[in-house]
Structure formats: C-alpha cells, structure tokens
Amino acid sequence: MSVQSIPGFDLQPSSERVALPSNYITNFNFLNQYLPDTYEKEFERYGNRTIASFLRMVGAEMPTNSDMIKWAEQGRLHTKYVDVTLAATGATTGVLTVADVLNPAGSNIAVRVGQTLFISDNTPGSVLSNKAVVTAVTATTIDVAFYEALSVVPATPSKLTVMIYGSEFAKGTSGMVDSLEANDVFFDNKPIIIKDTYEVSGSDMAQIGWVEIQTENGGSGYLWYMKSEHETRLRFEDYLETAMIEAVPAAPNSGAEAALSTSAGAVGTINAGSEGVFHVVNTRGNVWGGGNPTTLAGFDTVIQRLDKQGAIEENVIFVDRQFSFDIDDMLAQQNSYGGGGTSYGLFDNDEDMALNLGFTGFRRGYDFYKSDWKYLNDASMRGDIVGGKVGGLLVPAGSTSVYDQVMGKNAKRPFLHVRYRASETEDRRYKTWITGSAGGARTSDVDAMQVNYLSERAVCTLGANNFFIFKD
C-alpha cells in the first residue's frame, strides 16, 4: 500500500495579508502598483507649431524714436483725369470740366495752356476719341481746340478721360506759362505695445517629472516649467508678427480707444491700434474678391492691374493651401493641349520635371514666386476661417525710394518692414526680464519666477498700390 497523492494537503496559505496604511499608498490605482512604461519625450503631433515666417522672409527691422512714423511716397509723374465732361461751344472748340475726385480739393488742375490732350469717351463699347490743344485754363475747366472733327467726341455731356501727351506752340510765341509742383502723398503709422508673461511658483520649479521636455531651440530637461516658459516665448514671437499683419487703427470714440485710454496706469498719448498689412492693402492696395483667380484669364486681370501701378518686376505670392493648388492647376493646364497628348514645353521637354506640378515660380508679364504661408493654413490661426477669409497676399520684392522725415532725405526702404521703438538708453525691439524671488530673481518677496516679454513696434507698408490681397 502507498499513500495516495489525492486529496493530499494544500500548500497554499489559508490566510491573507491585508494592506495597511503604513504599508501601502491609499487611493490605490494601477499606476501606483506598476511602474508605467512611459515615453520620455513628447510626440510632436503638430510638428513645428510656430507660424512666424512671413515678415522674416520679406521684411527688415529698423529702429524709430517716435510715437509717429511718417513717410512720403511719390505721386504719378503724368497727369490723367477720368471724370471729365464736355460742353461743345462750336464745331472746332469745346470746354472740358474736371470733376475728378483725384484732383485735390481747392487745387488747380494740372493742365496748362499749350499742352496737347488725348480725349476718350468712357462709355462702354464707344470708339469715340479726339485730340486737342489747350487754349485756356481755370481751376476746374479746360478750353480746347480740336485737332480732329468734332464728331469724333460725344456732343452731349458724358464722362470722358483726358490724358496729356505733349504740347505745341506757334512760331515766335512765349514759352509755357506756369510750372508743375510735385505733390507727394504722406502716410503714417503708430507703434503698439505688445506684452506677455509667464509665472511659475518656486515649488513647481523644483518639481521633477517623468517626461523629458525638448524645446524647439534644443534645450531639454525634466522640469515641466521649461516647456511652458518656452511655449510662452514662442507664442509671443508669433504674436509679434501676427499683430503686424492683423492690426487695425481704433475708430474715433470706439470701445478699444476708450478701454486703452482708461487702462490702469496708462500715461501719455494712447496709440489705439495700428495699421497692419491686411488693413493697409485693403484700404490703399488692390483687392481681389470672390475667391481665388483659378484661370489664366483671372490671373491676367491681376497682371493688368499691376501694369497700372508700379509694375514691379518680381513679386512673391504668399498663399494658403487651396490657392497654392489653384495656381498649380492653372499652370499645369497650360501644358496640356488636349486629351490625346501633353506638351512639356514649359519645362524644356523634361517629362520628369513636368510631372512635378508643385510650381514655385513662373513668369507671365512679371516674375511671380509662390510661397505657402503657414499662418493661412494653421487651424489655430487663419486656417478654416470663413468670414474675412484671406487666400493669399502678393508682396512686391525689393525696395522703394521714400522721403524719410527722420533722415531728412530720400532713402531706400523695403516695401514691407518693421519699425521698433529704440533710443540710446532704451531698446524695445524685444525685451525680456525676470521678476520675483525664484529662478535667480531677487526683485520681490513673491515666491515665484515671473518672465516678462515686451515689444513696441509698427509695420510700414510702402507702395501699398503694388500689393494684392485675395479674399473670398
């Protein structure tokens, strides 16, 4: 006989150890019992989140020491009026009346006796025109003698365009009476003060976390406040650009004007708002409305408008993704001549190059360079905006000549540049300082580190007539 193994005896303990407060953490959860497998670094699911690139690419920065920045821009060299009526006084003469709003109030028209005019009927479909010599001038009227038959111009009052193309005098006569004085157009802008701050307590500065913080400038560590402070700085730098793009002047007696003038501690003259790039181009530049120009004919309309402005040879178009696609599709269509085949003439017959339809530059009348503008695509900024949507901005490249009132002479300035407040004792381009009693600061008894940011600046948009904004 032998002892059977079953039922046998149980080796498992019959008692259970009970967790005591002295032995275990209360409020038990999974992560307290088991060490989590934690990724030490954050995953950049939104990539590089900063959107500041526009002004860095096209603009320059220079100091100013005043609350007001003023500059003068040259007017047109030649004279042309587009709101003129004709009262015929005879078969060979007539009187032109200038009602053009472009003629400054209280000013005499810039036409003199002896000058020769081209007169065109503005009526759609009209072929009527004539040429004449000026025989007498008042503040708003021009007496003319026609070179051609009177029937070439309308006999009844109608809106006409008058252009000076030269002069003619009889033998032995005196010279031109009166001279023309150039009238510059003056513009100005005011800087605004942009601020931000970040605060962390001294205790939190000493707290170590599990996740290693990697900042965009290459810094790293396990102190979480490093991330927040760094992001505050990046956010502030983005606002330095977006404020220059979006700023608008506060209307008289507006809420913003009242709020800023009554702010606690406000002293001196209040600059309520400023003229940002979008505002200036909307008011003094060229505006395309109703969506993007998606056809070559539409883009030709843009080019024809540029012809009537400064005709700047090189231009950069900063676009959102849809406008970028529209330009690519428009140009790609120019390379196709039907369903049966494809031409690669634009690419020196290089098929591989032609298949890459992401055009970055092209020439049609002028040189245009396309650049994706992250600001217009970012979902947290202008991306997916409906009301007030902007699809792109055309910016002339290079610089222009303006009269700088500070220097007292003509100077070359980029079409788009930033002026920041500065003097020999104070530079407000980008100020940052630490207050409190933590993080090395010894300025107060507050148990915290306060990081402060400040900038005072304005953007100057010179020659806005050469800019184009594309809106829905």
Asked whether residue 322 falls in the same domain as residue 445, the answer is yes
Asked whether residue 132 falls in the same domain as residue 210, the answer is no
Q: Which residues of the chain are under the pLDDT cut of 50?
A: 1, 3, 9-11, 13-28, 30-31, 40, 337-349, 353-355
Asked whether residue 251 falls in the same domain as residue 363, the answer is yes
Q: pLDDT tens-digit profile of 248-298?
A: 998 888 888 888 877 766 665 667 889 999 999 999 999 999 888 988 888
Q: Is residue 150 part of a domain?
A: yes
Asked whether residue 56 falls in the same domain as residue 166, the answer is no
Asked whether residue 318 falls in the same domain as residue 371, the answer is yes
Asked whether residue 144 falls in the same domain as residue 256, the answer is no
Q: How far is residue 444 from each of residues 196, 265, 289, 468, measured CA to CA in Å?
A: 19, 20, 55, 51
Quote the pLDDT of residue 107: 67
Asked whether residue 219 falls in the same domain as residue 284, the answer is yes
Q: pLDDT tens-digit profile of 63-91?
A: 888 888 888 887 778 888 988 888 866 77
Asked whether residue 139 falls in the same domain as residue 194, the answer is no
Out of 170, 191, 223, pick the residue that ends a domain.
Answer: 170
Asked whether residue 329 falls in the same domain as residue 371, the answer is yes
Asked whether residue 151 falls in the same domain as residue 299, the answer is no
Quote the pLDDT of residue 345: 45
Tokens of 196: 């931000």
Quote the pLDDT of residue 426: 92
Tell me how far apart the alpha carbons of residues 343 and 351 are, in angstroms, rounded to a whole number: 9
Quote the pLDDT of residue 123: 83
Which residues in 256-265 are b (16+ Cβ under 10 Å) and which e? ebeebeeeee
Number of domains comprising the chain: 2
Q: Is residue 338 part of a domain?
A: yes
Asked whether residue 202 falls in the same domain as residue 164, the answer is no
CATH of the domain at 140: 2.40.10
Quote the pLDDT of residue 148: 87
Out of 111, 142, 170, pick the residue that ends a domain.
Answer: 170
Tell me how far apart the alpha carbons of residues 365 and 424 are, in angstroms, rounded to a whole number: 46
Q: Is residue 8 part of a domain?
A: no
Q: Is residue 19 part of a domain?
A: no
Out of 119, 142, 170, pick the residue that ends a domain.
Answer: 170
Structural domain span for residue 135? 80-170
The number of residues making up the chain comes to 472
